[in-house]
Amino acid sequence: MPEPLTPTERKVYYYLLDFLSEHTYQPSVRDIGREFEIKSTKTVSELLQSLAKKGYIERDPSRSRGVRLLGFQAARRTQPVPYFGKIAAGEPALVPEHRAGFITMDRRFVPSEDCFYLRVMGESMVGRGLMDGDYVMIQPNVPLQDGEIVAARIGDEATVKTLEHRDGRISLVPAHPDEPIREYDPRSDDIVLLGRVCAVFRSLHDGPDSEGSLPA
Protein backbone atom coordinates (compact mmCIF):
# COMPACT_ATOMS: atom_id res chain seq x y z
CA MET A 1 0.00 0.00 0.00
CA PRO A 2 1.45 3.42 -0.93
CA GLU A 3 2.60 5.59 1.94
CA PRO A 4 0.22 8.52 2.63
CA LEU A 5 1.12 11.87 1.10
CA THR A 6 1.68 15.10 2.98
CA PRO A 7 -0.70 17.96 2.04
CA THR A 8 2.00 19.56 -0.17
CA GLU A 9 2.86 16.26 -1.85
CA ARG A 10 -0.83 15.66 -2.53
CA LYS A 11 -1.19 19.06 -4.21
CA VAL A 12 1.84 18.39 -6.40
CA TYR A 13 0.62 14.89 -7.28
CA TYR A 14 -2.81 16.16 -8.32
CA TYR A 15 -1.14 18.94 -10.29
CA LEU A 16 0.90 16.34 -12.18
CA LEU A 17 -2.28 14.38 -12.97
CA ASP A 18 -4.22 17.44 -14.12
CA PHE A 19 -1.33 18.89 -16.13
CA LEU A 20 -0.76 15.62 -17.99
CA SER A 21 -4.46 15.24 -18.75
CA GLU A 22 -4.62 18.75 -20.19
CA HIS A 23 -1.31 18.95 -22.04
CA THR A 24 -0.42 15.28 -22.76
CA TYR A 25 3.09 15.89 -21.38
CA GLN A 26 4.46 16.40 -17.90
CA PRO A 27 5.34 19.78 -16.37
CA SER A 28 8.99 20.62 -15.88
CA VAL A 29 10.56 21.19 -12.48
CA ARG A 30 10.38 24.93 -13.14
CA ASP A 31 6.68 24.66 -14.11
CA ILE A 32 5.97 23.01 -10.76
CA GLY A 33 7.97 25.64 -8.94
CA ARG A 34 6.02 28.47 -10.58
CA GLU A 35 2.68 26.80 -9.85
CA PHE A 36 3.40 26.48 -6.13
CA GLU A 37 5.67 29.53 -5.79
CA ILE A 38 8.67 27.38 -4.87
CA LYS A 39 11.83 29.24 -5.85
CA SER A 40 14.24 26.38 -5.25
CA THR A 41 14.41 23.69 -7.94
CA LYS A 42 16.09 21.52 -5.30
CA THR A 43 12.95 21.69 -3.16
CA VAL A 44 10.79 20.67 -6.13
CA SER A 45 13.15 17.79 -6.89
CA GLU A 46 12.94 16.64 -3.28
CA LEU A 47 9.12 16.66 -3.48
CA LEU A 48 9.23 14.59 -6.66
CA GLN A 49 11.74 12.22 -5.10
CA SER A 50 9.42 11.75 -2.12
CA LEU A 51 6.53 10.95 -4.47
CA ALA A 52 8.76 8.40 -6.20
CA LYS A 53 9.85 6.86 -2.90
CA LYS A 54 6.22 6.50 -1.81
CA GLY A 55 5.35 4.73 -5.06
CA TYR A 56 3.25 7.34 -6.86
CA ILE A 57 5.65 8.23 -9.69
CA GLU A 58 8.89 7.13 -11.34
CA ARG A 59 11.62 9.66 -12.10
CA ASP A 60 14.36 10.10 -14.66
CA PRO A 61 16.59 12.71 -12.97
CA SER A 62 18.46 13.34 -16.23
CA ARG A 63 15.35 14.88 -17.84
CA SER A 64 13.51 18.04 -16.85
CA ARG A 65 10.16 16.36 -17.53
CA GLY A 66 11.30 12.88 -16.58
CA VAL A 67 8.28 11.88 -14.51
CA ARG A 68 6.02 8.89 -15.10
CA LEU A 69 2.78 8.65 -13.15
CA LEU A 70 2.42 5.05 -12.07
CA GLY A 71 -0.90 3.52 -13.12
CA PHE A 72 -1.92 6.54 -15.18
CA GLN A 73 -3.39 5.95 -18.61
CA ALA A 74 -4.78 8.70 -20.80
CA ALA A 75 -8.56 8.50 -20.54
CA ARG A 76 -10.23 7.28 -23.71
CA ARG A 77 -13.92 6.96 -24.54
CA THR A 78 -14.83 9.41 -21.80
CA GLN A 79 -17.12 12.43 -21.82
CA PRO A 80 -17.14 15.50 -19.56
CA VAL A 81 -20.63 15.98 -18.10
CA PRO A 82 -21.25 19.52 -16.80
CA TYR A 83 -22.23 20.00 -13.19
CA PHE A 84 -24.44 23.00 -12.44
CA GLY A 85 -24.27 24.62 -9.03
CA LYS A 86 -27.23 26.96 -9.57
CA ILE A 87 -30.43 27.17 -11.59
CA ALA A 88 -31.44 30.36 -13.38
CA ALA A 89 -34.99 31.72 -13.31
CA GLY A 90 -36.59 31.74 -16.74
CA GLU A 91 -35.33 29.89 -19.77
CA PRO A 92 -32.74 28.66 -20.34
CA ALA A 93 -32.49 27.48 -16.75
CA LEU A 94 -28.90 26.26 -17.21
CA VAL A 95 -26.49 29.03 -18.12
CA PRO A 96 -22.70 28.70 -18.50
CA GLU A 97 -21.89 31.08 -15.65
CA HIS A 98 -23.69 28.74 -13.23
CA ARG A 99 -21.68 25.73 -14.32
CA ALA A 100 -19.56 24.60 -11.37
CA GLY A 101 -17.35 22.25 -13.37
CA PHE A 102 -17.40 18.87 -15.06
CA ILE A 103 -17.54 15.24 -13.97
CA THR A 104 -15.77 13.03 -16.49
CA MET A 105 -17.62 9.81 -17.21
CA ASP A 106 -17.14 6.70 -19.30
CA ARG A 107 -19.27 7.41 -22.39
CA ARG A 108 -21.04 4.08 -22.00
CA PHE A 109 -22.88 5.51 -18.99
CA VAL A 110 -23.92 8.83 -20.59
CA PRO A 111 -27.08 8.41 -22.71
CA SER A 112 -26.76 11.71 -24.60
CA GLU A 113 -24.36 14.60 -25.11
CA ASP A 114 -26.64 17.16 -23.41
CA CYS A 115 -26.78 15.39 -20.03
CA PHE A 116 -25.79 17.34 -16.92
CA TYR A 117 -25.39 16.80 -13.18
CA LEU A 118 -27.16 18.36 -10.21
CA ARG A 119 -26.72 17.55 -6.54
CA VAL A 120 -29.50 16.40 -4.24
CA MET A 121 -30.10 18.17 -0.93
CA GLY A 122 -32.54 16.67 1.54
CA GLU A 123 -34.19 13.31 2.03
CA SER A 124 -37.60 13.65 0.38
CA MET A 125 -36.71 10.97 -2.22
CA VAL A 126 -35.14 8.35 0.05
CA GLY A 127 -38.00 6.01 -0.76
CA ARG A 128 -36.79 5.95 -4.38
CA GLY A 129 -33.15 5.47 -3.41
CA LEU A 130 -31.93 9.08 -3.67
CA MET A 131 -29.96 10.32 -0.66
CA ASP A 132 -28.86 13.72 0.55
CA GLY A 133 -25.62 14.64 -1.27
CA ASP A 134 -26.13 12.33 -4.26
CA TYR A 135 -25.18 13.57 -7.71
CA VAL A 136 -27.97 12.89 -10.20
CA MET A 137 -27.43 12.88 -13.95
CA ILE A 138 -30.28 14.54 -15.82
CA GLN A 139 -31.18 13.66 -19.42
CA PRO A 140 -33.06 16.59 -20.98
CA ASN A 141 -35.05 16.75 -24.21
CA VAL A 142 -36.72 13.35 -23.81
CA PRO A 143 -40.42 12.53 -23.37
CA LEU A 144 -41.24 12.32 -19.66
CA GLN A 145 -43.64 9.70 -18.40
CA ASP A 146 -45.66 9.57 -15.21
CA GLY A 147 -43.82 7.58 -12.56
CA GLU A 148 -40.35 8.72 -13.67
CA ILE A 149 -38.04 10.66 -11.38
CA VAL A 150 -37.48 14.09 -12.90
CA ALA A 151 -35.73 17.35 -12.13
CA ALA A 152 -37.87 20.46 -12.29
CA ARG A 153 -37.24 24.19 -11.97
CA ILE A 154 -39.75 26.15 -9.90
CA GLY A 155 -38.84 29.82 -10.04
CA ASP A 156 -35.10 29.97 -9.50
CA GLU A 157 -34.93 26.72 -7.52
CA ALA A 158 -34.77 23.13 -8.65
CA THR A 159 -36.04 19.91 -7.16
CA VAL A 160 -36.16 16.22 -7.98
CA LYS A 161 -39.41 14.31 -7.54
CA THR A 162 -41.59 11.62 -9.13
CA LEU A 163 -43.67 13.06 -11.96
CA GLU A 164 -47.43 12.68 -12.24
CA HIS A 165 -50.06 14.53 -14.25
CA ARG A 166 -53.47 15.13 -12.65
CA ASP A 167 -56.31 16.99 -14.37
CA GLY A 168 -53.93 19.06 -16.49
CA ARG A 169 -51.71 19.88 -13.54
CA ILE A 170 -48.15 18.74 -12.84
CA SER A 171 -47.72 16.86 -9.59
CA LEU A 172 -44.28 16.45 -8.04
CA VAL A 173 -44.51 13.50 -5.67
CA PRO A 174 -41.93 12.95 -2.91
CA ALA A 175 -40.92 9.54 -1.59
CA HIS A 176 -40.96 10.46 2.08
CA PRO A 177 -44.03 10.26 4.34
CA ASP A 178 -43.41 13.68 5.89
CA GLU A 179 -43.24 15.55 2.58
CA PRO A 180 -46.37 16.84 0.81
CA ILE A 181 -47.24 16.38 -2.85
CA ARG A 182 -47.00 19.71 -4.67
CA GLU A 183 -49.11 20.54 -7.70
CA TYR A 184 -48.50 23.19 -10.35
CA ASP A 185 -50.47 24.60 -13.24
CA PRO A 186 -48.08 24.85 -16.22
CA ARG A 187 -50.26 27.61 -17.71
CA SER A 188 -49.74 29.99 -14.79
CA ASP A 189 -46.97 28.67 -12.53
CA ASP A 190 -43.29 29.26 -13.27
CA ILE A 191 -42.34 25.60 -13.64
CA VAL A 192 -40.11 23.86 -16.18
CA LEU A 193 -39.36 20.14 -16.31
CA LEU A 194 -35.58 19.94 -16.82
CA GLY A 195 -35.34 16.26 -17.67
CA ARG A 196 -35.28 12.70 -16.43
CA VAL A 197 -32.96 11.39 -13.73
CA CYS A 198 -30.98 8.70 -15.57
CA ALA A 199 -28.09 7.95 -13.20
CA VAL A 200 -26.98 8.51 -9.60
CA PHE A 201 -23.46 8.89 -8.24
CA ARG A 202 -22.95 8.52 -4.51
CA SER A 203 -19.67 9.09 -2.72
CA LEU A 204 -19.10 7.03 0.41
CA HIS A 205 -16.25 9.13 1.77
CA ASP A 206 -16.28 12.46 3.53
CA GLY A 207 -14.96 15.10 1.16
CA PRO A 208 -15.22 18.86 0.81
CA ASP A 209 -18.75 20.09 0.23
CA SER A 210 -19.57 21.02 -3.34
CA GLU A 211 -21.41 24.23 -4.01
CA GLY A 212 -24.85 24.05 -5.42
CA SER A 213 -27.44 21.51 -4.41
CA LEU A 214 -31.04 20.99 -5.32
CA PRO A 215 -33.72 20.22 -2.75
CA ALA A 216 -35.04 16.68 -2.98
- Is 62 marked active-site? no
Measured at the CA of 148, the angle between CA 146 and CA 153, to 5 degrees, comes to 95
Question: Which of 161, 171, 203, 210 is labelled catalytic?
Answer: 161
Question: Which of 124, 188, 203, 210 is labelled catalytic?
Answer: 124
C-alpha neighbours within 13 Å on the C-beta side of residue 192 = 16
Closest CA to 216 of 161, 153, 170: 161
Any bridge partners for residue 149, and if so which? 162
- Is 124 marked active-site? yes
Any bridge partners for residue 115, and if so which? none
Measured at the CA of 210, the angle between CA 72 and CA 109, to 5 degrees, comes to 50
Q: What positions carry a catalytic annotation?
A: 124, 161
